[in-house]
Structure 1
């Protein structure tokens, strides 16, 4: 669904009013039957023969399905280079994420602001998350600190964690964790590239 949204927004910016399932399937290299089924399942209005589905309606319907219309507030722990890049990215609000605070243990970073987001002391994580009813925590700290940070977030009532630390986190069963291991992804990419170049030779 997020990939559909991206393509539909491009079409919307080009003032395209309707789109067919085959058109989106072609753009994403997907099976058009599956795309048609997906659109039919989420669309509040039926697609018209030849013309297809309303681009605006599809965007609204998919955003509602994914919860993009109900922005969830999040906090980020670790105010280093990666966190600064995330905080500088303006696109997260479109996907329902509103980062309201950052945390760090470095006294030189505490009290500063990154893209208008205040950096607070990490010892305030649990209390602030509990008071503000925060449900999403983003971890960008070194691996050795990640579990402690994770525990603080869980203690504060966070239900979903986006983890950029290269370590497996231990969490209660009801906590959702999405791991983003950049080093592992780069290693996979490098391996496939070497194999492709070897086959080419």
Structure 2
């Protein structure tokens, strides 16, 4: 399978969001030009991104929205349900645990863990209770979890990652401010990076950089 650029994969997720909205509005077809306008990019970029995976459009008609949604769903892997565990029951971990919107995209949060004995046993949602880290590996094996969210302090993230990888976790979302050493895919989330990028754009606009 040929290597797909990460920006392309990220744009696919954005296309998916736009297409979902159009489907809810009762639309049946969309052109690459209109989809590009919704995302604020060139229509040639939309066609290039989609061409990595096949030919989904018809000249003069564009893309069938329902069909394209189904194809992108398969490409992104969200045609199946993914079981997710959260490591770290601080503010970020608990906020993610309560963010049920992701379940609409086939990500099911099935467990949240922490080393703080004062937090263990606390009810987060009607079906989520904070568990002790000592039970992590057994829980992953019994429940066939595949994705993990790391929301621990930086100094704990690497050791947690090693445990997760050995336990069979297939991918990690990392909120800890550290680069992990592992052999499974990792996506890093640092909210401060987005703030800095935004401020750079504001400053560039002010000084016409």
- Please give the TM-score of this superposition, normalised by the length of structure 2: 0.83
Other-structure match for 2:102: 92
Q: Aligned to 1:118, what secondary structure does the other structure show?
A: strand
Structure 1: which 4+ aligned runs deviate by more than 6 Å?
Answer: none
Contact 1:17–1:56, Cα closer than 8 Å, also in 2: yes
Contact 1:137–1:162, Cα closer than 8 Å, also in 2: yes
Deviation at 1:69, TM superposition (A): 1.3
More displaced 10-residue stretch of structure 1: 97-106 or 107-116: 107-116
1:108 corresponds to 2:118: yes
Q: Determine the C-alpha separation between the residues in 1 that align with 2:172 and 2:57.
A: 37
Other-structure match for 1:163: 174
Deviation at 1:140, TM superposition (A): 0.5
Contact 1:74–1:98, Cα closer than 8 Å, also in 2: yes
Contact 1:43–1:57, Cα closer than 8 Å, also in 2: no
1:6 corresponds to 2:13: no
Other-structure match for 2:199: 190
Over the aligned positions, Cα root-mean-square deviation in angstroms equals 2.2
Contact 1:76–1:139, Cα closer than 8 Å, also in 2: yes
More displaced 10-residue stretch of structure 1: 9-18 or 113-122: 113-122
Unpaired stretches in structure 1, ≥5 consecutive residues: none
Q: Aligned to 2:176, what secondary structure does the other structure show?
A: coil
Contact 1:76–1:103, Cα closer than 8 Å, also in 2: yes
Other-structure match for 1:146: 157
Counterparts in 2 of 1:18 and 1:114: CA distance versus 1, 3 Å: same
Q: Determine the C-alpha separation between the residues in 1 that align with 2:184 and 2:84.
A: 15
- Please give the TM-score of this superposition, normalised by the length of structure 1: 0.86
Q: Aligned to 1:100, what secondary structure does the other structure show?
A: strand
1:15 corresponds to 2:22: no
Other-structure match for 2:60: 50
